[in-house]
Amino acid sequence: MAGDSGLLTFWRGLLAGDWLPIGVGWEVRHRPGSGTRVRGRIPRARVAAIREFFERDLRPSGPVRVRGTPAGPGRPSRLTFAGSWTAVQRQRARNFLTELL
pLDDT tens across 8-30, in order?
555 555 455 556 666 678 999 99
The per-residue pLDDT for 6 is 63
The angle formed by the CA atoms of residues 74, 75 and 78, to the nearest 5 degrees, is 155
Within-domain flag for 71: yes
Q: Using an 8 Å Cβ cutoff, are 99 and 69 in contact? A: no
Record the pTM. 0.76
Within-domain flag for 8: no
Within-domain flag for 7: no
Number of domains in the chain: 1
Within-domain flag for 9: no
Residue range of the domain that includes 59:
22-100
Within-domain flag for 16: no
Closest CA to 52 of 36, 68, 65, 32: 36
How do 78-83 and 64-69 pair as beta strands?
Answer: antiparallel
* Segment 34-68, tens digit of pLDDT: 999 999 988 899 999 999 999 999 999 999 999 99
Within-domain flag for 4: no
Q: Does 32 score more than 70 pLDDT?
A: yes
Within-domain flag for 92: yes
Within-domain flag for 51: yes
